[in-house]
Structures are given as C-alpha cells and as structure tokens.
C-alpha cells in the first residue's frame, strides 16, 4: 500500500458529539448546501496545489461541543469518501474516513461554527500516514471479554493501534473519553489508557478483568482507590479517569508533554509539589492535563488556569515557625504599644501563658512517644521515618519568627490530613482554645492589641474586615462556574499570608450579615471557627480540595455583642475594652498620638511644643468619643499647622510674618487652629430651667454620654403629651407611663390640691430630646423622665451636675438597665458629679468603672422612684410627707 502524504494545510470540518473521527474509521457529517459548497472550495484549492492524488479530498475533522466550541487540541485528518442527500431539506451527509491524528496549532480560534475559509496548516505534521504496525500493547483480552463471540476472530487480527480506537468507538465509551483517546498519539500510551478505561467499565458492570490483567491490577493500589470512589455511572467521568492517568509511572508522565504555554505553570507545580496536600496535587495534575486539551483562547482555559494558579499559591504545608513565647517580652511589647487597657493586657498575657503551656505539654508528650521507638531500634523504614518526623517537631530553641519553614520534608511521610476523613493528624499542635473577642467602642485599640498579640506569638498577621459581608459566598467563595468567581475571604487571606498558621483578625464581627437571601455568612464563619471542623474547610471555589484552618489563630473584634449570632458568640471569649476617660486619653495622647503626629508631619520635639493645658483643651473641648481616633486627627491638625509655619519660615525669601517661627502652641492658639470648640459650647449651663434633666444614653456601638431631656408646659392645651426627638415606640410608652405616675402623685407632690384635680388641665406637655436626627429608643430614661415631669410641674430645678438613668415600672419600682459602664464614663467626660441609678446595677459599677471615675463621681443607688425624687429635692418635696397618697387613692377607689 502506498503511504499517502498529508497536504501542508487542511480545510476544517467541525464534528459535533457524539461522533469522534478516528484514523481508519468513518464518520458522517451533516452539512447544509452552503457549507458543502465551502467544503468543495477548500478541497478544490488543495487540488490546485502541488499535491498529487493522495491529497485529493482531504479535510481535518475537529471535535466540537454542542455549542460548536472546539474541544481539545487534536483532530483527525480524513478523506471524503461519499456525499449523500439527507431526507431533511437542504441537508447533505458527508462521509469521511479517518487517516491520521493531527495536532491543531495554538493560533486556531476556539469557535468553529462553520468551515473556516482559512485552512489549518499541518506542515509540522505532514508526515507519512502511519502504517498499521503491531505493538506490545495487548487489548485483545478486553476485546474478547467485552465483544460478542462472533467478533472475536476478527478483532484478533487487528493491530493494537487500530484496536484501541475501534474498541473505544464501538463499545460506547463516553464522548469526553473518546476525545481524550484521540489526543494520545503514542500507540502504547493510548493502549494503556484504553486498558484503564475498560478495567473501570468491567468493574462497574461486575465483569472480572482478564486473568493476566487482574494480577497486574492488584499491584496498582491507587487505581483501585480511584475506582472505589466511582459512582454508579456506567462509565468513568473524565475527571476521575484523568486521576488514573496521572498515576502512571513518572517516565510516562503525560504532563511532561504539555504544550509550551503550560510549561511555566507546570514548572511551578513541580517546585510546589512537596508543599501541596495530596488532594491539591491530584487536582492540579488533572486540571493541567485537561487544560492541555482546551484551546487557550477559550474562556474555560482562563478559568482553569486561574484555578490552578490559586491552588499553587495556597500554603498547604507551609508554616511560619512557632518559637517559644517569651511572656516577659510579650508583656513589655503590650506595655510599650498601649497605654492603660490593664484588664485587656492581663487577659492577653493569660492567654499567651496558657497557649505556651499547652503547646509545651503537647511537645513533651510527643517526645515521650518517640523514646520507645529509639530504644527498640526497629529497622523498619516506616518507623524510622516516623521517628524523623517526631524529631523534626521539636522546636529549635532561640529561632525567631517569620522565617517560613518548608515542612514538606518532614510531612511527606505523614498521613495527608486533608484527604482523610478521620480527623486532622495529631502530630502538629493545634490550639482548641476559645476565640478571643475584643468588644468595645471604635478607636480604643482593639486592632492594635491583636497586632501585638500576633507579634508575641511569632505569627503572620492578617485582618479581614467583616463589615458589610452579606453574602455567604464572600466567606465560602463562589463556585468556579460563575463568571468572575473568587475564593472566599479566608482562602484569600491564606493566599496572602502564605503560611497555614497565621493570626487572622476578624474585624467587626458584629457587622456580619445574618441569614438572608444570599445565604448565612455567620453560619459559614461558624464552620471556619470550629476546631472540630476547620481542619477540613471547604471553599466553593477550591471544589474538592479542602484547606486546613485548624492551625490559624482567630481573634475577633466587635463594637457590640447585640448583633452577633449566639452560636458564634458561644465560640468566643469576650474581653471588654471600655472607652477611655479624660486622664487616659491625655496619657495616650502624650505617649503615642502626639509623637506619632509630630513625626508624620516631619517635625521633631524641638520644633513643636504644646503649652500646659493645650492637650487637655483638645481632649475635653474638641473630642467627645470613647476612643482616640478623632483626638489623633485633631492633634494631626495642630502639627500640620506648625509644619506649614515652619516650612514657610525656611523659605529663602521671607516676609515679615513668615520669617520668625514660634515652636510653641499656646492655649489661645488652639481655637485659631482647630476652630471654635464643638463641645465646649455644649457644656451644660450653670443654671437650668425646671423641666430639664440629664439622662444617660448608650448608643450601642460602645459610646455613651449625657442625654438632655427637655420638657415644657404649653398653655391653652387639653392635657396632651407631645413627644419629639425621633423617639422609638418603647421610649414613647415609657414617657406615657412616667406621666401617668406623676399625675397619680400630683397631690402628694404638691402639684394639685385635691386628687380629683387634673394637673394638666388647660395645658399640654411637650417632651423633647435634642439631636433630633438620631434615633433613640429603650426604657432606660424612665427615672430621668419622672424627674423632668416633677421638676416641670413643681417648678423645681435639678443641678446640671446630676445625671440619672434607670427604667421604672408603673408602681414606681426602679429596674436594672444595660450599658452602665459606657454611660457612666460618658457622664464623667461631660463633667457630671453625681449619678443616680438602679441599685441592681451596683455590681456593674463596682466591677467595671475605673477607679478614677469612681473617685470623681458619687453614685446613688435607688430601688424606688421616690428615693430618686428625695435624693434630688429632699423629703420636703412631699406634702404631708406623702401621706395623703393612700387617702387620695382610697377616695378614687371609692368613686370607681
């Protein structure tokens, strides 16, 4: 037989599923008349060339998917054998016989909806068509088992290269697998691959493999592992089959023959193999071999490549070295970086001490396990390796942090924890302690404390801001099938830090969205934070590759506990960081904020000096916050102004005003630089009118302060109560309740002369709380409201240095309220000297309020509203010592 030569270029014909054209076999391609005309033109142009007879009627047949997208990089050159008219209108059937496999050039566009006018060049492949030569691959035993008996004699005479293609075609192997087989030009490799496919088909059909193959199969453990995971589908899915193909001996590694554009990523993969988990390793191999079959121009190529790059950048087995924690060092660092916050620092040191102790005990127990091994001197390879692993876990003393240790060498023999289902390996220390949750108002140093903790532990630090996370996919990632899919925040964090044991700060835990239309982000966080599950965390983007979060140390911050879901809160140990009082703010400003701002403005201590009292003025008159952020901004303004002055004084041509620079900032300069004080003006007037009382508020984000209650009598009314100031329903109900109580005691308070008299006859009462734009709610202004009404109706004032808080029941019992610490600290900032509050809140005051505040404020605890009234105006306020109440009540009762 003469060996035909392929022409230097071929017209292309797309072939849609389920057909795949193999050499020496035929395919029937339906075409419209216009497509057929194109085929004729293209074939004609081939004839016009130098090609002889052999080239006549040759085309390249390319597998495409249902949407006409080219699949894979391989096709089959074929010769047109016949053209028939189909029964359908304007449809012709082109019969093509396969000649040889052709590799498509990379420049080929991915879409082949119709025959392209530009034929593909085949020059590098214009080889003589291969003759059917016998090969060592023997697929015959399979053919005999799988085909009917009458075909046995015929197939036994076929050469193995043809047999592989024929068997794949006639045994109804899945289309994807046929494409894969088409893409294996090497006869022997193709035979092996087809053998594997048949083994799987047989095991699924319950047919035992041919004898000589079964013994070979026993040797291949991995093969059987993959097969056992195959579902009930009759034929292997391509992803599983490629797992099998990737387990071939390294000499036959199909990845070695990857196209040029994939070589850099393959080289990266080879260098990263020791640090990848088993599953990641397998998946990258599989994806690489899949990628080789996808045209680079296709969207899928980009998706798959990004996925591989993501997997290769994850730190599966990389850890930053844990070194022995030095508690003294840690304490010093916390002291150096933070002023005050004594309770928080103490708790952080306790945490470090417990962590160190648990880790030491763990390492000691590992050491003990190692000794019998050493004594037994077992000459067993596995045991020797285990011994090596244990030894490598003993930390080398004195080594400092941040050096990234490649644990691969010691972990290569460990059970790959990510792939097992029995739990994480027990040879690495994992802290199962609660997650520290720092709660407090903004700007009190929560983030800064977490950062210091990371440094003390020698861990890499990463902050994830959870504020506004509404979509579960932001935590758990998007499935790769979505356009623009990304891994979740946790996987992105791991990628960024590059080690699997960082300290991750979950900032603003209270701002995470709850369950809703986009899933439940806090439930996804729960899984990530649970030590029982997080060693095997599944991100949607990573698919079947799980990531180990069990070595990550999580710390969270929040402004309030109210909006945190309780299962999440249950995993946390809450540490409260309360707002600062003025002396603390002054100390922080002196030690940290001012030096920092001076430095940032390019000045030094010789170039700027604040006069006595300047700092205090800035703290008290220009800021009213729990933290120190706005204080830092104000100090920044002062420093910048001085920097401008100084810079101008250095200009070569100076005017009279600019040439002299005064490094001092005097008390009177503060107003010139920072403007008129915002809060100084708001200071309570020395003497107020009756009906005005200082209540106390807590705004939920950690800030507390004075809430001025204003009431006014409006003549000519009908006894109506008008409330303004954006008050919530609970607040309004509480005001009505208080007014009812005051009315019921109007006679004993001296407001009316007889119990029948209406104290609001002919008048209305207007109740207002300033800052009308801010929503206010809650019942805790109860006592303050009663005092405001009593003051208004009796015409007696209340001192501005008194603040009152507490809920009241209809009978006048004073009830416990929340947010005492923030309220009292806020009151202290506003210069309040006496606070009246429920007796049941006494433990809160004693435990939470800083000593300095306790020394400067007098606390009066009350059980009944009458005690609060007496505390303000004395017992004399009662007419007849309040005795008429019962008689008045008796008279009202009798009338009713």
Ligand X SMILES: Nc1ncnc2c1ncn2[C@@H]1O[C@H](COP(=O)(O)OP(=O)(O)OP(=O)(O)O)[C@@H](O)[C@H]1O
- Judged by CB under 6 A, the residue of 448, 630, 764, 813 near ligand X is 448
CA distance 324 to 458: 9
Report residue 63 as tokens. Answer: 């597998």
Interacting positions 496-535 with ligand X (CB under 6 A): 507
Determine the length of the chain: 896
- Judged by CB under 6 A, the residue of 443, 521, 579, 779 near ligand X is 443
User: Closest separation between CB of residue 441 and ligand X, Å?
Assistant: 7
CA distance 196 to 614: 83
- Judged by CB under 6 A, the residue of 282, 557, 565, 597 near ligand X is 557
CA distance 71 to 62: 8
Q: Is 452 a catalytic residue?
A: no
- Judged by CB under 6 A, the residue of 102, 436, 444, 512 near ligand X is 444
User: Closest separation between CB of residue 756 and ligand X, Å?
Assistant: 56
User: Closest separation between CB of residue 455 and ligand X, Å?
Assistant: 14
User: Closest separation between CB of residue 236 and ligand X, Å?
Assistant: 52
Measure the CA angle with vertex 834, ends 833 and 839; round to 5°: 150
> Which of these is catalytic: 293, 370, 743, 823?
823
Number of residues that bind ligand X (CB under 6 A): 18
Give the binding range for ligand X (CB under 6 A) out of 226-234, 289-297, 445-453, 691-699: 445-453
Burial label for 224, CB within 10 Å (0-12, 13-18, 19+), is: middle
- Judged by CB under 6 A, the residue of 446, 478, 540, 743 near ligand X is 446
- List the x/- string, 421-440, binding to ligand X by CB under 6 A: --------------------
CA distance 853 to 833: 10
CA distance 320 to 427: 16
Measure the CA angle with vertex 19, ends 15 and 23; round to 5°: 85
Give the binding range for ligand X (CB under 6 A) out of 59-67, 305-313, 441-449, 656-664: 441-449
Between 168 and 589, CB nearer to ligand X: 589
287: contact with ligand X by CB under 6 A:
no
H/E segment holding residue 714: strand 704-715
Between 169 and 557, CB nearer to ligand X: 557
822: contact with ligand X by CB under 6 A:
no
Cα torsion angle, 48, 49, 55, 59, sign = negative
Report residue 888 as tokens. Answer: 């008045």
Q: Which residue is nearest to ligand X (CB)?
A: 445
Between 697 and 703, CB nearer to ligand X: 703
Whether residue 175 contacts residue 17, with contact meaning beta carbons closer than 8 Å, is answered with yes
Helix 327-337 crosses helix 342-376 at what angle (to 10 degrees)? 150
Between 588 and 868, CB nearer to ligand X: 588
Interacting positions 298-357 with ligand X (CB under 6 A): 338-341
Cα torsion angle, 808, 809, 813, 815, sign = negative
> Which of these is catalytic: 242, 734, 744, 780?
780
Between 315 and 579, CB nearer to ligand X: 579
Direct distance between the N- and C-terminal alpha carbons of the chain, in angstroms, rounded to an integer: 124
Q: Is 718 a catalytic residue?
A: no
Please tell me what DSSP assigns to residue 273: G
User: Closest separation between CB of residue 109 and ligand X, Å?
Assistant: 51
List the 553-558 sheet strands across, edge first.
461-465, 503-507, 553-558, 435-439, 572-576
User: Closest separation between CB of residue 578 and ligand X, Å?
Assistant: 11
User: Closest separation between CB of residue 693 and ligand X, Å?
Assistant: 32
User: Closest separation between CB of residue 440 and ligand X, Å?
Assistant: 6
User: Closest separation between CB of residue 511 and ligand X, Å?
Assistant: 10
CA distance 627 to 557: 14
Interacting positions 622-651 with ligand X (CB under 6 A): 628-629
CA distance 127 to 73: 18
Interacting positions 580-619 with ligand X (CB under 6 A): 588, 592
- Judged by CB under 6 A, the residue of 442, 502, 579, 782 near ligand X is 442
Please tell me what DSSP assigns to residue 111: B
Q: Where would I find the beta strands (DSSP E) of 486-616? A: 503-507, 537-538, 546-547, 553-558, 572-576, 609-610
Q: How many CB atoms lie within 10 A of CB 792?
A: 23
Which residue stretches of 394-445 are H helix? 408-411
Residues known to be catalytic: 780, 823
Residues that bind ligand X (CB under 6 A): 338-341, 442-448, 507, 557, 559, 588, 592, 628-629
């Amino acid at each position: 037989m003469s060996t035909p030569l392929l022409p230097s270029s071929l017209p292309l014909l797309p072939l849609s599923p389920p057909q795949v054209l193999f050499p020496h076999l035929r395919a029937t391609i339906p075409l419209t008349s216009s497509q057929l005309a194109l085929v004729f033109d293209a074939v004609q142009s081939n004839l016009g060339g130098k090609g002889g007879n052999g080239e006549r009627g040759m085309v390249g047949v390319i597998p495409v998917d249902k949407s006409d997208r080219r699949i894979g990089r391989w096709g089959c050159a074929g010769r047109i054998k016949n053209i028939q008219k189909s029964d359908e209108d304007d449809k012709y059937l082109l019969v093509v016989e396969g000649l040889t496999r052709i590799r498509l050039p990379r420049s080929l566009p991915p879409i082949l909806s119709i025959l392209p006018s530009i034929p593909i060049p085949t020059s590098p492949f214009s080889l003589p068509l291969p003759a059917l030569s016998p090969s060592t691959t023997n697929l015959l035993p399979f053919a005999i088992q799988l085909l009917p008996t009458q075909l046995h004699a015929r197939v036994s005479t076929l050469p193995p290269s043809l047999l592989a293609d024929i068997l794949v075609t006639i045994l109804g192997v899945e289309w994807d697998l046929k494409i894969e087989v088409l893409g294996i030009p090497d006869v022997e490799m193709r035979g092996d691959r087809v053998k594997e496919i048949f083994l799987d088909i047989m095991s699924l059909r319950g047919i035992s493999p041919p004898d000589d193959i079964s013994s070979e199969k026993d040797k291949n453990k991995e093969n059987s592992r993959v097969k056992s995971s195959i579902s009930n589908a009759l034929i292997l899915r391509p992803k599983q089959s490629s797992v099998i193909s990737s387990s071939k001996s390294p000499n036959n590694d199909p990845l070695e023959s990857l196209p040029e554009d994939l070589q850099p990523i393959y080289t990266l993969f080879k260098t990263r193999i020791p640090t990848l988990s088993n599953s990641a390793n397998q998946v990258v191999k599989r994806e690489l071999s899949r990628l080789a079959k996808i045209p680079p121009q296709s969207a899928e190529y980009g998706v798959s490549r990004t996925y591989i790059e993501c997997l290769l950048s994850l730190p599966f087995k990389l850890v930053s070295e844990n070194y022995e924690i030095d508690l003294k060092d840690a304490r010093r660092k916390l002291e150096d970086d933070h002023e005050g916050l004594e309770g928080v620092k103490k708790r952080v040191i306790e945490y470090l001490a417990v962590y160190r102790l648990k880790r030491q005990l763990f390492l000691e127990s590992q050491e003990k396990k190692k000794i019998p091994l050493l004594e037994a001197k077992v000459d067993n390879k596995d045991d020797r390796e285990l011994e090596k692993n244990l030894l490598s876990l003993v930390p080398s003393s004195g080594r400092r942090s941040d050096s990234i240790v490649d644990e691969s060498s010691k972990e290569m023999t460990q059970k790959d924890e990510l792939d097992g289902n029995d739990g994480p390996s027990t040879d690495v220390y994992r802290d199962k302690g609660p997650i520290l949750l720092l709660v407090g108002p903004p700007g009190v140093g929560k983030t800064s404390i977490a950062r210091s903790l990371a440094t003390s532990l020698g861990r890499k630090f990463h902050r994830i801001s959870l504020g506004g996370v509404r979509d579960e996919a932001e935590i758990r990632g998007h499935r790769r099938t979505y356009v623009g899919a990304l891994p979740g925040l946790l996987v992105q964090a791991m990628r960024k830090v590059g080690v699997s044991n960082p300290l991750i700060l979950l900032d603003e835990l209270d701002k995470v969205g709850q369950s809703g239309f986009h899933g439940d982000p806090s439930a996804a966080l729960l899984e990530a934070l649970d030590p029982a599950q997080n060693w095997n965390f599944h991100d949607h983007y990573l698919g079947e590759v799980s990531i180990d979060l069990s070595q990550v140390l999580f710390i969270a911050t929040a402004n309030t506990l109210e909006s945190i879901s309780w299962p999440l809160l249950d995993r946390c140990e809450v540490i409260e960081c309360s707002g600062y009082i003025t002396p603390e703010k002054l100390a922080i400003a002196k030690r940290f904020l001012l030096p920092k701002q001076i430095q940032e403005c390019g000045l030094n201590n010789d170039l700027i000096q604040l006069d006595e009292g300047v700092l205090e003025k800035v703290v008290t008159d220009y800021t009213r916050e729990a933290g120190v952020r706005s204080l830092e901004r104000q100090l920044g303004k002062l420093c910048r102004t001085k920097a401008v002055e100084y810079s101008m004084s250095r200009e070569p041509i100076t005017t009279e005003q600019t040439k002299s620079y005064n490094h001092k900032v005097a008390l009177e300069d503060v107003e010139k630089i920072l403007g008129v004080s915002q809060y100084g003006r708001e200071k309570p007037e020395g003497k107020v009118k009756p009906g005005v009382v200082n209540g106390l508020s807590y705004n939920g984000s950690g800030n507390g302060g004075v809430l001025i209650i204003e009431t006014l009598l409006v003549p000519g009314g009908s006894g109506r109560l008008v409330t303004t100031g954006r008050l919530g329903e609970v607040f309004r109900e509480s005001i009505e309740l208080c007014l009812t109580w005051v009315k019921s005691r109007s006679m004993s308070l001296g407001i009316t002369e007889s119990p029948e008299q209406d104290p609001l006859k002919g008048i209305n009462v207007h109740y207002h709380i300033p800052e009308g734009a801010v929503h206010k709610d809650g019942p805790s202004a109860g006592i303050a409201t009663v005092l405001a009404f009593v003051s208004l109706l009796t015409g007696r004032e209340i001192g501005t240095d008194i603040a009152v808080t507490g809920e009241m029941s209809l009978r006048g019992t004073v009830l416990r309220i929340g947010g005492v610490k923030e309220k009292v600290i806020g009151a202290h900032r506003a210069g309040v000297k006496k606070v009246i509050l429920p007796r049941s809140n006494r433990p809160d005051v004693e435990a939470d309020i800083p000593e300095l505040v306790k020394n400067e404020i007098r606390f009066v605890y009350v059980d009944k509203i009458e005690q609060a009234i007496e505390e303000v105006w004395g017992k004399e306020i009662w007419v007849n010592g309040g005795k008429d109440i019962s008689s008045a009540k008796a008279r009202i009762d009798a009338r009713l």
